[in-house]
Structure 1
Amino acid sequence: MPDPIETPAARRRIRGELFGAGGLSKAETERIWLPFDIWLLVATAYLPYARARPWPAVQTAGTLLLVHLLFTNW
């Protein structure tokens, strides 16, 4: 029997990837991605501790890299 949390989280992630690849999220990022955020947050609770530990550092490094390499006017 599939886990009741993992199944909706996986479905939301797949739909989110398809929306992003299909260009549906252009110019409406916040409104389209908000329903997916809560399921991705819940899905992180199922990560093993050893796998989850480095991800905050990876996210921080990726964000800093993006901010320094990408010039935006806003």
Structure 2
Amino acid sequence: MIFLVVLVAALVAFCGYTWAATGLVSVAALVCGALRLILKDRSPWKVRSVPFDAFISFGLGIGLLVTYTSIQLLL
């Protein structure tokens, strides 16, 4: 599932819509973090603890948007 989102985001970025591609990956990371919090130990993927996995996912989702926005403001 996540692989398909990343594949679609890569195709969208290749077409020149980097903001949309960044948004897709960011939303996917946020959804993964939310799913990890909801499913807890029943989650199909487990890297570390539930709080760690959720923190990393939320950090990636928010960090991608903040980084992309700051780069656009510099240009």
Does TM-score exceed 0.5, indicating one fold?
no
TM-score by length of 1: 0.37
- Structure with bigger helix share is 2
